[in-house]
Structure 1
Amino acid sequence: MPADELEVQAGLEEGIEVVYLCAPSKIIAEKGRLKGLELVQVEMRGVDPTGWREPVVLEGTEFTVELDNLFPAISQRPDLGFLPDGFKISPKNTVEADPGTMMTDVPGVFAGGDVVAGPYFATDAMGHGKLAAKYMDRYLRGGDMTPEYTLTKPTAHVEPYEMTPVEVETIVSRPETPLQPVAQRIKNFESVELVLDETAAVNEAKRCLRCDWRWEHEAEEEEKR
């Protein structure tokens, strides 16, 4: 299952053991209580219809891990069993909808959010809803359903922040987000990522208003490599 590199690194720092190329095959229980999990080794061969590498079980490689708790995390996918015939379903088991109107292949039926894009950002789902509402209104009024693509002009111009030579040397790079110490964060459920202090936050705001500095700096770093 794909994972963000930073999250993997954080997990390793917290003492999590990652077992690679294995798949669960059986939950072991005794008198109604969890005792362990049987795993089997797999080998990646070929590609499945959705484009992912396909695991193949290696017979005779079963082994057992003793457990106190088990938290299944086996990906997410929409449950489309309630849909009648007529909807076009993608290879990833999501409903296909026109990205310009959010209307499906069934006239008058619109879809958006995770059921269309798969697990993604809440802001994208909100955008889908706003776009779908616009074209729902047009559909009900018998209006033109041709997608419109427009650019929204900024309402105000913000002058670039003029950095001093010292600031150019000290704040051109993005500050690292402070984190809870490992020994502390493994004992609580509070946010691992902390906030920038006032100085770092102000410097980041200055840097944000000078995107050109960012690109020039990255180009210089690339040339050094």
Structure 2
Amino acid sequence: IYDIRELEDKNSIVEVKLNKCTSVFDEKGIFAPIYEESITNKISGDEVIVCIGQEADVELIDDKNYNSFFSNGIIEVNMDTLETKNKGIFAGGDIVSGPASVIDAVGHGRKAARSIDKFLGGDGIINYDEDLYNNNEMFIGREEGFGTLKREQVSYVDADERKINFNPFELTYEKDSAIKEGSRCLRCDLRLHFRHNPSPPEKYLRFNVENIEMVPSEEGVIQLLDDNKEVYHIKGTDNMKETLLEILNDNGKTAYFIYEADPMFTKRESELLQQYLQKHGKLPDSGDDLDDLF
């Protein structure tokens, strides 16, 4: 194994000077390469593609305090608590373990959170707040129609500029583009709370007892759809679940439904009927059976 020490460009011929690596990991298994400076090699070619490694950004730690944190390029910690040699300061991730996985870094984050909580006088029990998930809408996505939004493209450094250096060439989003890209978010934090995630998501649900049981017994507006997923009835009601169950027992036309909780359900019903009228030029044809129900 060799490490690049120098690149020279001589009349369009690139020469790479290498030093031999005699050891990659230390006795603790941490990435800490050692090189034998006297053992070298040279390779010439028309072009060299450099695969650049990574190292920790330690600019926040000044030279005076560097040695109180670092040993062999990583921060020394108590692996049970992730506290550094400086009391009350914790560290985790690759800066502690050397190159590892994202899973390891996430685990360090949770362990450090527990240790910090104890350090501040807590019991070290860190759990997510279930209340954050109890009152969410049942439809994923932050914006209507998010499933069909196109990905925003980032801009790049001009090729003439980036070919002469190894600086990052992919630029960040402009503010407006970042907001648009964020609107495509699927809200993956809620993924475990959904039984079925159609892609792209659809508002309507299959008209069956299982789905109706999820509907709250609250005021709101229901929309009924046929097999072609066309709305044929819109109705405001003071108890959405009860109304849907009545329709389930007495009507065979409904294949799908949409519900929307709203204490001002008569107003919302009127708005939806107006929208339907503008789109179709007529009011929904609910049929005699449903007229009898209501």
- Pairwise same-fold verdict (TM > 0.5): no
TM tier, smaller: 0.3 to 0.5
TM-score by length of 2: 0.33
Greater share of residues in strand: 2
TM-score by length of 1: 0.41
Higher RCO structure (Cα 8 Å, ≥6 apart): 1
